[in-house]
Structure 1
Amino acid sequence: MQNHFELFQLPQRFTLDTSALEQAYHEVQNQTHPDRFVNATSAEKRVAMQWTTRANEAYQTLKSPFKRAAYLCELNGVALEVESNTAMPTAFLMQQMEWRETLDDARAEKNLAALEQLDEELRAARRADLQRIGVLLDAGDFQQAAQYVRQLMFLEKFGEEIGNAFAVLES
Structure 2
Amino acid sequence: MTDPFDTLGVEPRFDLDLRALEQRHRDLSRALHPDRYAGAPAAERRLALGRAIETNDALRVLRDPIRRAEALLQRAGLARGEETQQKASPALLMEMMESREELSEAARKRDRARVARLGDAMRAREQATLATIGRAFAAAGGEAAQLKGVLAMLSELRYIRRFLDEVSAIEEELTDPI
TM-score by length of structure 2 reads 0.86
**What percentage of aligned pairs have identical amino acids?**
30
Tell me the residue number matched to 1:168.
Answer: 173
Mark the CA change 1:84 to 1:66 in structure 2 (over 3 Å): closer, same or farther. Answer: closer
Runs of 4+ in 1 over 6 A off after TM superposition: none
Q: In structure 2, how many angstroms separate the alpha carbons of the residues matched to 1:126 and 1:88?
A: 16
Distance change in 2, residues 1:106/1:80 (3 Å): farther
Matched, 1:62 2:65: no
How large is the RMSD of aligned CA atoms in angstroms?
2.0
2:163 to 119, 143, 158: 158
Would the aligned equivalents of 2:3 and 2:71 in 1 still touch at CA under 8 Å?
no
User: Can you give the 5+ residue segments of structure 1 that lack an aligned partner in the other structure?
Assistant: none
The answer (yes or no) to whether the contact 1:32–1:48 under 8 Å persists in 2 is yes
Alpha-carbon distance in 1 for matches of 2:85, 2:28:
37
1:104-135 CA-partner distances (Å, limit 9, x unpaired): 11122111111001100110111111111111
Contact 2:112 2:171 in 1 (8 A): yes
Gaps of 5+ in 2: 141-145
Q: Normalised by the size of structure 1, how large is the TM-score?
A: 0.90
The answer as to 2:46 corresponding to 1:41 is no
Q: Distance between the aligned counterparts of 1:13 and 1:107, measured in 2?
A: 39
CA distance in 2, matches of 1:79, 1:164: 33
Deviations 1:34-56 (A, max 9, x none): 11101011111111110000000
Which shows bigger deviation, 73-82 or 16-25? Answer: 73-82
* C-alpha distance in structure 2 between counterparts of 1:104 and 1:14, whole Å: 34
Equivalent residues in 2 for 1:1-171 (5 A)?
3-82=3-82, 85=85, 87-140=87-140, 141-171=146-176
Number of matched pairs = 171
CA drift of 1:136 comes to 0.9
